[in-house]
Structure 1
Amino acid sequence: MLIHELIKVLEQAAPPAFQESYDNAGLLTGSPAWECKGVLVTLDCIEATIEEAIKKGCNLVVAHHPILFKATRHLTGKDYIQRTLIKAIKADIAIYAIHTNLDNVRSGVNKKIADLLGLENQRILAPKSGLLSSLVTFVPAADAEKVRQALFEAGGGSIGHYNNCAFSTSGTGTFQPQQGAHPAIGTVGTAENVAEERIELVFPSYLQQTLVQSLIKAHPYEEVAYYIHPLSNTFSEVGSGIIGNLPQPIDIQQLFDNIKKIFAVKVIRHTALPDSPKKIRNIALCGGAGSFLTKTAMTAGAEVYITADVKYHEFFDADSQMVLADIGHFESEQFTIELLFDILAQKFPTFAILKSEYCTNPVLYYI
């Protein structure tokens, strides 16, 4: 097993193209060509994590949070970041980070949290735009189905919960092969009129090269006519946070008790609860630092918004219209370890994939 084989599976689950511009997901140390002896999945990669990997015989650490965020001009061991990198490099341990791209996919970190809370009818709270394109091509009618299927298999034509979505219209294509051409239909020097289909479909923009290669391979023509347009549509499968509803309305105190039990939360920081007893059902959430979505959650009709790292003045943003609850960064994302384990173990059930047993949470509570 080579490291790049495991990376391929991770990036199919959470494409790097979906990470935020400030992020640094990807392979941080090591080589994708190394043979992998074992994988340790963790939330954070720090010195203790590398030591754990060494003891357990793992030479690949897959972490949610990148240990390396900003440019590092030297490695002298002056802080925990540099010491972690030095320890990993000296021990020939590769570090792979899968951060905001795993946050942003519908099946990622926030879905894990929503599933643990039992939310139904889940949808992305703030879908992203600018991640989709449309492809239009023209194909002889007899080959249209073959080309359509090739584009579907390459990742085109998916909209929400629907696959194989395309639109076709019939028309007439004209062309005249010139000297040096090897036409699939017609002869050099003779004008041709061919019954063709115009095929249109939507695809994630990062798949453009794959889609075009599949189109050219499946298309019968020597020169394939196509064009691509970037779209401003929102992408319902990619974005920040999740909103959904509980199967039955419950008291907010019961919700908080459930959160404390499920996430082992010792304290929940929150805004004022409603004056009159009221059962709640609509819940929005975002693992990690998610205060930037507070107003989005309010607009979406959330009665409670669960996130972490909320600053003092940001609590005012709830404006008495919903309850804003901060359950802690580590606490909200701790089950990402299970998510990463499941992604890899499903593909490599007999390979040595281990969950880190070291708690990296730097925040403690004096009670």
Structure 2
Amino acid sequence: MIIQDVINHLEELAPLNYAEDFDNVGLLVGDKNTNLTGVLVTLDTLESVIDEAIENNCNLVVSFHPIIFKGLKKLNGKTYVERVVIKAIKHNIAIYSMHTALDNSNLGVNDMIFNTLGLTNKHILIPQSGTIKKLTTYVPIEEADHLRNALFQAGAGSIGNYNDCSFNVDGYGTFNGNEQSNPTKGQKGEIHTEKETKITVTFSKHLESKILKTLFNTHTYEEVAYEVITLNNTNQNIGMGMVGELESPLSETDFLRHIKDTMKTECIRHSALLGKSIKKVAVLGGSGSFAIQAAKGAGADAFITADLKYHDFFTAENKILLADIGHYESEQFTKNLLVAYLTKKITNFAVVLSKTNTNPVKYF
């Protein structure tokens, strides 16, 4: 097994196509073709984490946060980032980051918070736009079933809880090949009319190259007529944050105690108590002030996130309870998620959960 094999598994869970534009995700350090010795999973990559990887004979560190976020102009060890990168390269350790790709995954960071809190009836809080594409192509009628099924096998035709979805219209296609053509139907230099089926399927954008490869390899025409467009449809499975419901309503103080116990946080900064029960809850791991309005719009009674500033608490406007549980605390279970996932996928290599607490914030 090589490092790329692990990356393939990780990108099934969280395709990099869905990371935010500002982010820096993927293989940040190392050669993807290196033989794998073991995987260490961490929230942050620090020097102590690299030491832990060396101790456990792991030459791949899977880190939620990217150690390289902004461009590095020098590598002389003056900053902790530079020292981490230097040590990783010196010991042939690769570093892979998932960050907002996993944030936007339906089974990622926010799903862990959702399940830890015991919420049900899950919905994406802010669906990511431009993630659904549509393919339209034309194929001889007798070949339509074969092509359609091949596209389904490649991942096309999934809409929410439904698979193998397509729209099909029969009609007539015409073409006239020039002297350089080699038509599989009709003769070059002659107008040919063919009974064809127009097939339309949707697919997730990270599958585009796979879908088009399948189309070209399966279709019998020398020149395949097709169109790919990006849709504005809401994606039910990709986006920031989640909304769900508690099994039974809780008072605000009981709800805050529930958060403190389940999320293992030492401190919760919250907006004014409103004297109402909490039933519908929005969550967003990491810095989530940008989602306050979305949480209010979703009708949430409370919004759990981190890194709220002083003026962010005013935006509650006596309509929602805002709870800042801390950046590390909101994402701490992410590495457990990744270890559990990789352990199922990789049975013949060690997948090690980092024991290093990388939280830089301390409480007095």
Match of 1:181 in 2: 181
Report if aligned partners of 2:170, 2:195 keep a CA contact under 8 Å in 1: yes
Letter of the 1:99 partner, please give it: H
Report if aligned partners of 1:61, 1:94 keep a CA contact under 8 Å in 2: yes
Match of 1:157 in 2: 157
Whole-angstrom distance in 2 between the partners of 1:302 and 1:14: 26
Match of 2:91 in 1: 91
Letter of the 1:328 partner, please give it: G
Match of 1:287 in 2: 285
List alignment gaps of at least 5 residues for structure 2.
none
Letter of the 1:321 partner, please give it: K
Whole-angstrom distance in 2 between the partners of 1:3 and 1:220: 36
Match of 2:296 in 1: 298
Match of 2:317 in 1: 319
Match of 1:192 in 2: 192
Report if aligned partners of 1:308, 1:326 keep a CA contact under 8 Å in 2: yes
Q: TM-score, normalised by structure 2?
A: 0.96
RMSD (Å) for aligned C-alpha atoms? 1.4
Report if aligned partners of 2:42, 2:64 keep a CA contact under 8 Å in 1: yes
Report if aligned partners of 2:131, 2:205 keep a CA contact under 8 Å in 1: yes
Whole-angstrom distance in 1 between the partners of 2:53 and 2:331: 21
Cα deviation, residue 165, structure 1: 1.5
Match of 2:8 in 1: 8
Whole-angstrom distance in 2 between the partners of 1:224 and 1:160: 29
Q: Of residues 341, 346, 349 in structure 2, which corresponds to 1:348?
A: 346
Give aligned-pair identity as a percent: 46
Report if aligned partners of 1:315, 1:324 keep a CA contact under 8 Å in 2: yes
Within-5 A mapping of 1:4-83: 4-83=4-83
Match of 1:260 in 2: 260
Report if aligned partners of 1:147, 1:219 keep a CA contact under 8 Å in 2: yes
SS of alignment partner, residue 238 of structure 2: strand
Report if aligned partners of 2:122, 2:244 keep a CA contact under 8 Å in 1: yes
Whole-angstrom distance in 2 between the partners of 1:282 and 1:246: 7
Cα deviation, residue 193, structure 1: 2.4
Whole-angstrom distance in 1 between the partners of 2:38 and 2:282: 36
Match of 2:306 in 1: 308
Cα deviation, residue 180, structure 1: 4.3
List alignment gaps of at least 5 residues for structure 1.
none
Letter of the 2:235 partner, please give it: F
Report if aligned partners of 2:116, 2:263 keep a CA contact under 8 Å in 1: no
Report if aligned partners of 1:16, 1:26 keep a CA contact under 8 Å in 2: yes
Report if aligned partners of 2:4, 2:32 keep a CA contact under 8 Å in 1: yes
1:298-357 residue CA offsets vs partner (Å, 9 max, x unmatched): 011000000001111111111110000001111110110011112211211232101001
SS of alignment partner, residue 187 of structure 2: coil
Cα deviation, residue 192, structure 1: 2.7
Whole-angstrom distance in 2 between the partners of 1:334 and 1:282: 23
SS of alignment partner, residue 341 of structure 1: helix
Q: Does 1:228 align with 2:228?
A: yes
Match of 2:212 in 1: 212
**Deviates further, 134-143 or 189-198:** 189-198
Match of 1:359 in 2: 357
Letter of the 2:14 partner, please give it: A
Cα deviation, residue 251, structure 1: 2.1
Whole-angstrom distance in 2 between the partners of 1:225 and 1:357: 54
Report if aligned partners of 1:128, 1:236 keep a CA contact under 8 Å in 2: no
Cα deviation, residue 26, structure 1: 1.0
Match of 2:270 in 1: 270
Letter of the 1:333 partner, please give it: E
Cα deviation, residue 142, structure 1: 1.2
SS of alignment partner, residue 203 of structure 2: strand
Match of 1:331 in 2: 329
**Deviates further, 38-47 or 71-80:** 71-80
Q: TM-score, normalised by structure 1?
A: 0.96
1:173-224 residue CA offsets vs partner (Å, 9 max, x unmatched): 2223443433333334443322211111112233222211111111122221
Number of aligned residues: 364
SS of alignment partner, residue 162 of structure 1: coil
